[in-house]
Amino acid sequence: MCDECSDNLHQPVAPSRRSMMLLATSALAAAAFGGAAFAKEKKAPPKPQNVLSPDAALKRLMEGNARYVSGVSRRHDFKHEREALVGGQNPYAAVLSCADSRIAPEYAFDTGRGDLFVCRVAGNFAGDETVASMEYTVAVLSTPLILVLGHDNCGAVDATIKSLKDGKPLPGHIPSLVSAITPAVKTAAQQSGNALDNAIRQNVIDNVAKLKSAAPILNAAVEQGKLKVVGGIYRLNTGTVELLAQG
């Protein structure tokens, strides 16, 4: 090998104008085919009637509660709903509810399968896992509404009040519930009226605020008008859900 050839082997070879054009063309073609493939894969939602604006979703939710309260709930065709939902889901609302056995959001709002994305925990507070679950339903499933649903005579809130008053820790993992609900109880303690009712209400308000401000997903969806986060109280004696004033 001559010295000149050897030297050329170690010199960087600049791509020609033609090779650059071919590379750009290939990239554009790949993008085009990728877009076409994505368009083919994108399917219509399994329940088209669930594609709603945040306000329309809230209206539908409360209309369902009105039917439930009146005792005229609809008959739901669960068999065909199961078949339609095998390939996916698009709930029109998400509910953060207490785990209390007397509270069943699917019944309280007269909904069918695939209508509600429900997270339940004693004291209806938004821990990290619940926030993540709500991020999933909003970002992936395009759910336009989140309702934080408290209820009167909540045992978790009452236990928190008593634990703080007595200064005695509760057994097992229950102190984790107390820790999560304590801020609302302390805020409500400064309010006049029934301590338990005030704490239940404050707990809902606090968790609505937490979900609204949860960055980077939920707060962005709220700011863009794609998501509404509201709070309500379920009344055990009537089944009525009373929405709290939205701030």
Angstrom distances, CA of residue 104 to CA of 15, 25, 95, 143, 204: 66, 56, 10, 19, 17
Distance CA 81, CA 47 (A): 9
- Neighbour tally for 107: CB within 10 Å: 13
- The answer for residues whose C-beta is within 8 angstroms of residue 166's C-beta and 6 or more apart is none
Q: Where are the beta strands (DSSP E) in 7-129?
A: 93-97, 116-120
What tens-digit pLDDT sequence spans the chain (247 residues)?
444 444 444 444 444 444 443 333 334 333 333 343 333 456 789 999 999 999 999 999 999 999 999 999 988 777 777 888 999 999 999 999 999 999 999 999 999 999 999 999 999 999 999 999 999 999 999 999 999 999 999 999 999 999 999 998 899 999 999 999 999 999 999 999 999 999 999 999 999 999 999 999 999 999 999 999 999 999 999 999 999 987 5
| Three-state DSSP state, 4 | helix
Distance CA 221, CA 217 (A): 6
Residue pair 90/45 in contact by the 8 Å Cβ criterion: yes
pTM beyond 0.75, yes or no: yes
